[in-house]
Amino acid sequence: MGSERRKALPFKAKMPDIANISRLLNELPACFRVTLQGKFGHILDLLSVDVQTPAITALAQFYDPPLRSFLFQDFQLTPTLEEFDRLLGFSMKGRTPYNRIGQVPEVEMLALALCIPISDALANWKKRENLFEIPLKSTSPEPVPVSLEEVEELRAMVAKLGKEKDDLQSELYKETRKNMILKRKSNQRKSNQMKELLEESRKKNRIEQDLKERVLECLDQVDSGLG
């Protein structure tokens, strides 16, 4: 790595307000916490991390996005396997590292990985020195010669299709707008009909109530006359 002086970048670390999230977490039932932990692992532990903004600002100057690590003048800072184990929740205990280095892969597996027929892979399977190879033929189509007149015809056809597309979209917009207006009018008509029926029902109820009151009044007069 070079020893040139690194130019400082104007980074700023801003801490979010997690008070509401912490309050909500305290009110969360235990069963929901278990479900959340099963789906997202130990993500809730981030709420209790003591974040040091000066350290983040300083480390950001040395972060290399393509390598996803911190590059310093004389060394590289990356997470260890144990830290990946902790972060991803994927235990490496009892697992052996990749031990198939030097072994020749199966032709069928290579054909599936390269998306080519197995017969073609077997027919082109060659050994060169200490390497095995499968020469791949180009799948690009052969260029078709066309004349200038054909090019102009194709351009005119593309322009025509583009215009037809715009016209269809315009007609579709008009029909959609027309349907929306008809639907709005239909809903308004139904609403007016419901109002008219409700008003008519209220009038009938008032008439019936007036008739009842008159009948009761007549009965009271008859009773008073007989008395």
Domain ranges of the chain: 19-88, 106-136, 147-227
Q: Which of 40, 58, 51, 55 is nearest to 15 (CA)?
A: 51
Cβ atoms within 10 Å, residue 120: 15
The answer to whether the CB of 74 falls within 8 A of the CB of 1 is: yes
pLDDT tens track of the chain, all 227 residues? Answer: 445 566 777 777 777 788 888 888 888 788 777 887 777 777 778 888 888 888 888 888 888 888 778 888 778 888 777 777 777 666 667 666 655 666 677 778 777 777 788 888 777 777 665 555 666 655 556 677 777 888 888 888 888 888 888 888 888 888 888 888 888 888 888 888 888 888 888 888 888 888 888 878 777 776 676 65
Q: Secondary structure of 142-201 in the HEC alphabet?
A: CCCCCCHHHHHHHHHHHHHHHHHHHHHHHHHHHHHHHHHHHHHHHHHHHHHHHHHHHHHH
Residue written as token pair 């205990």? 93
